Chains A and B, each alone.
Chain A
């Protein structure tokens, strides 16, 4: 299957994402050797307290739990996800590999923030049996501040 080049420039979103304290804590537990959740859970082994301990976070300059940098992929991925499975684009999702990632973290993301992410297909290319797709995203918070810019790359082996 070949990609529909007319989709270059197609925009997706905005997608809303309300950042929750438990969500930050679950993510932090997961990437720092713990187990997420509230039942069979285990705390992180080596997390920064601002990402885990609500009292420490409240006393920090940020006043609330802060998202570790990798957390941005949870909300900023949405335009990329929707683009990859957009039937108009015609990618074979089963053969799709997310093969590159860049995030610019322009502002602190805190528990309680309400974010909106929009994105655009910025590259569509065929090279032999491979299709390349790139989606560029921007995420703003409830004050309209740009907090994350992302570049998401995928390759499809046809």
Chain B
């Protein structure tokens, strides 16, 4: 397998749709059965318009967008984000990344996530990754 090439300025993008049952699937896969992710009445009582997606699902999608760029699920070494806007059923999230620096085997990635209205659902999203094949 030829190792993929990475360069400062690379960009990548991954789109994920919050279909009706995604918060329930994520609850099953993660064990997060907080009713605000499952029960619209509870979510409305908490001040949301309807059920909201688990922030950790958005976070996993963010990290997964990096893994897809890297071509290796084990190379993301650090990922961070602040959750600034609830993600709801019906939302379509676009995760974008840009390689801002390469320091030895380490790639620095600047990330964003926006919904279908162009609103940012995360702030301060960033990741570090190692170039595939360079695991110590």
Contacts and interface: CB of A to CB of B under 8 A. Distances in A.
Interface of A: 23, 26-27, 29-33, 35-37, 46, 48, 50-51, 62, 66-71, 73-74, 77, 94-95, 97-106, 108, 151, 153
A153 to B, nearest CB: 8
Contacts of B82: 99-101, 153
Contacts of B29: 23, 26-27, 29-31, 36
Contacts of A100: 80-83
A69 B26 contact: no
A62 B74 contact: yes
Interface string B26-47: 1011110000000000000010
Contacts of B12: none
Interface stretch (B2-10, B65-73, B101-109, B110-118): B65-73
Contacts of B80: 100-103, 151
Nearest to A153: B82
Interface residues of B, number: 36
A66 B73 contact: yes
A99 B73 contact: no
Contact of A105 (B16, B30, B77): B77
B25 A35 contact: yes
Contacts of A153: 82
Interface in B45-59: 46, 55-57, 59
Interface majority SS on A: helix, strand, loop or mixed? mixed
A69 B73 contact: yes
B56 A68 contact: no
A101 B83 contact: yes
A81 B31 CA distance: 12
18 contacts: A30-B29, A31-B61, A36-B25, A46-B68, A68-B64, A68-B73, A70-B61, A73-B59, A98-B83, A100-B81, A101-B82, A102-B79, A103-B79, A104-B77, A104-B78, A105-B77, A105-B79, A108-B74
A50 B73 contact: yes
Given A99-B55, A101-B56, A101-B82, 5 more contacts: A30-B22, A36-B25, A48-B73, A74-B31, A151-B80
B118 to A, nearest CB: 21
Contacts of A32: 64
B73 A105 contact: no
Contacts of A69: 60, 63-64, 66-67, 73, 76, 79
Contacts of A94: 46
Contacts of A27: 29-30, 60
Contacts of A62: 74
Contacts of A29: 25, 29
Nearest to B62: A70
A75 B125 CA distance: 22
